[in-house]
Amino acid sequence: LLQPILTFSISMSASLESLRRWCSHHKIWIDHRIEIVSSDLSGIHLVSQSPIAQDTILVKIPREAAISLKTSRISRHIPASASTHHGRSAQLWLALALSVELALGPSSEWAGYLQSLPRALSGMPLFWLGSGADGASALDFLKGTEAWRLVNETDESGATLVEDIDAFFEAVARGVYSKVLGSSSVETLTRKDFALAYGLVSSRAFLIDAYHGLAMVPIADAFNHVQENHVHLQSDYEVCPECGSLRQCIHDGGEDLPSETWEDDCLEMISNRPIESGVEVFNTYGEMLSNAQLLLQYGFILDGNENDRVTWTCDEMAEFVHSSLHWDPAPVRQTTDWLQSLPWEILEESSELVYIDRKHAFCVNADGTVSHGLWLYLATALVCSRTDIRGPTSAQEAILSGVEHLLRCQSGMEQHESPEHISGYTTNGSTIHQLSGLIFSLCRARSAGISRGELTIRELGELLDSLPEESAPSRRMAVSLALTEKSILETCMFAWQSLAETFVHAPDSDK
């Protein structure tokens, strides 16, 4: 009964019909105003057949129709603690459950749903290395980008995603395969099969409630992504973690109440806004996801994603300051708390070079504007390198005052105020000139590391135009990311160079 995962597939039209029958059998209700369709470009997706009002329930999915650690075939063969995992660990456990159901093929309770899932995820960098020349070349172009950093990001144990997948497959998955599917499965199911299941989980799973946790939700996962989405998944997360009950149960220490009705125990896809007739109906996988995140988790990118950014870690900033100023930047970290009292509204209201970002400390956004955290780190480093901060409060006050003067000076320079109207212009303007040079150098160094630094923006653009969508989809995405990030950095460099020039050309005066 064990099916090779990669060969369990049927024609698209038959696949859609099988999916519809399976949904009907498992009491998944789909509003007649939306239809499940498929295309080579979008795969299986949903299209509106008539106008739909806001706040309309379009799909109802019983919780038991979802694949989770609680509902899958492996539930009796894994530790109870498995369902309490979060993040990457939760994805690995659900991938194990999904890979078992995929291996069961037509024997799985979810066969009608599973056969509709893609059998290749070549859009995700996780699978590029084994996808031929296009994938291998794409990885080269991806080097130095935000996506490359995410691919090589390590967890708390210091392992990358690929290392975690390999370790989990060997230490956990193979043993569960033997228990659930028989000893022959250990040879039949490969690391590639498990990685496919992980990719499906990464790109399609939802966190549905405190009992099921992360789960594969049929039909809900067929809605493709845009930032301005039409629908969202609604679920009552606060259920009994022991039995999944939405109502009072014996685990609450009271009497067990009557079980939920079908309507109570469903996940719902609900419209956020009016939907026109004849359009694809979209969900969102996250309104703030950058193209690097979308590529890594879902295998696609958007045109003109306003969430794109180039980031640095605290260690990278420290190393840059140390090499640029020949000064130990460790004291800068001691100043962050009391520097939050700076009047940031000055830059927020007047600056086109700095923006307030409470989530990403050190970054340049899609407009080529630096985060206030990055500005603050470099500005503080310049002030601290000239100030003895080992002293008491007076030293802190001196630093705070120095950074605030820089902030006000830059605001005046950006507003093209006359130098004589800017307090301490010669001293502070000179420091802003140096700060501009630091930001320029930081961006230039990062740009040089993207796609091995071999191609200019113009050359990357010409290459992108020459790559065919049909035969080089991965390269197109990688080159597009590299081009976008280089453009962001160049925009930032030009802006700060222009600011520096306003000081160079100004009269040498002070107030």
Interval 381-426: pLDDT, tens: 999 887 655 555 567 788 888 999 999 999 999 999 999 889 889 9
Residues 361 and 446 placed together within one structural domain of the fold:
yes
d(CA 497, CA 501): 6
Question: Do residues 483 and 456 both lie within one domain?
Answer: yes
Q: Say whether both 313 and 284 belong to one domain.
A: no
Residue 233 domain flag: yes
Q: Are residues 342 and 467 in the same domain?
A: yes
pLDDT in tens, 22-63: 999 999 999 999 999 998 777 899 999 999 999 999 999 999
Same domain, 166 and 194: yes
Domain assignment present for residue 511? The answer is no
Q: Which range has the worst mean pLDDT, 15-24, 182-191, 363-372, 454-463?
A: 182-191
* Four-residue CA torsion sign, 384, 387, 392, 397: negative
Residues 153 and 84 both lie in one domain: yes
pLDDT score recorded for residue 259: 55
Pick the closest to residue 453 from 150, 140, 128 (CA basis): 140
pLDDT at 3: 43
Distance CA 98, CA 100 (A): 5
Residue 303: inside a domain, yes or no?
no
| Residues forming a β-bridge with 46 | 36
* Whole-number Å distance between alpha carbons of 248 and 55: 28
pTM score of the predicted model: 0.87
- Per residue in 94-131, pLDDT (tens digit) is 999 999 999 999 999 999 999 999 988 888 999 998 76
pLDDT for the residue numbered 505 = 55
Q: Pick from 298, 323, 357: which residue ends a domain?
A: 298
At 60-84, the pLDDT tens digits run: 999 999 999 999 999 999 988 887 7
Identify whether residues 367 and 273 lie together within a single domain: no
pLDDT digits (tens, 9 = 90+) for 162-184: 999 999 999 999 999 999 998 87
> Has residue 69 been placed in a domain?
yes
Domain that holds residue 391: 309-504
What does the pLDDT read at residue 334?
65
Question: Domains in the chain: how many in total?
Answer: 2
Is 509 within a domain?
Answer: no
Co-location of 327 and 247 in the same domain? no
Residues 99 and 191 in one domain: yes
Same domain, yes or no: 391 and 363: yes
Look at residues 263, 298, 333 and tell me which one is the last residue of a structural domain. 298
> Is residue 140 one of the residues assigned to a domain?
yes
- Which tokens in the block code for residue 326? 């020949």
The residue from 298, 325, 346 where one domain ends is: 298
The CATH number linked to 152 is 3.90.1410.10
Average pLDDT, the chain: 88
Assigned domain for 152 exists = yes
304 within a domain of the structure (yes/no): no
- pLDDT tens for each residue of 183-235: 877 778 899 999 999 999 999 999 998 888 999 999 999 999 888 899 999 98
Spell out the long-range contacts of 379-382 with Cβ–Cβ below 8 A and sequence spacing 24 or more.
Answer: 379/403, 379/406, 379/407, 379/431, 379/435, 380/332, 380/335, 380/339, 381/321, 381/325, 381/327, 381/329, 381/332, 382/325, 382/406, 382/431, 382/434, 382/435, 382/438
Checking phi first, is residue 347 left (phi over 0); if not, alpha (psi -120 to 50) or beta? alpha
User: What values do phi and psi take at 68, rounded to 5?
Assistant: -135, 175
Q: How far is the first Cα of the chain from the last one, in angstroms, to the nearest whole number? A: 86
Q: Are the C-beta atoms of 245 and 255 separated by less than 8 Å?
A: no
Q: Which residues pair with 30 in a beta bridge?
A: 59
Q: Residue 163, CB half-sphere, CA atoms under 13 Å: how many?
A: 10
pLDDT higher than threshold 90 for residue 243: no
Residues 474 and 367 in one domain: yes
Quick one: pLDDT at residue 1? Answer: 40
The pLDDT value recorded for residue 73 is 94
Nearby residues of 302 by Cβ (< 8 Å), 6 or more positions away: 226, 227, 291, 294
Confidence of residue 506 (pLDDT cuts 50, 70, 90): low
Q: Are residues 326 and 290 in the same domain?
A: no
Q: What would the mean pLDDT of 435-458 be, rounded to a whole number?
A: 94
**pLDDT, position 313:** 95
- Write the DSSP assignment of 161-210 as a string of letters: HHHHHHHHIIIIIHHHHHHHH-TTHHHHS-HHHHHHHHHHHHHH-EEEET
Does 151 or 395 have the greater pLDDT score? 151
* 23 vs 59: CA distance, rounded Å: 11
DSSP string, 387-409: S-TTSSHHHHHHHHHHHHHHHHH
Instruction: Give the three-class secondary structure for 225.
Output: strand
pLDDT band at 147 (very low <50, low <70, confident <90, very high): very high
Q: What is the sign, positive or negative, of the torsion defined by CA atoms of 469, 473, 475, 476?
A: positive
**Residue 433 pLDDT level (bands cut at 50, 70, 90):** very high
- Given this model, what pLDDT does residue 186 score? 73
Please state, for a pLDDT cut of 70, what percent of the chain lies above it: 89
SS3 38: strand
**Most confident segment among 240-244, 378-382, 486-490:** 486-490
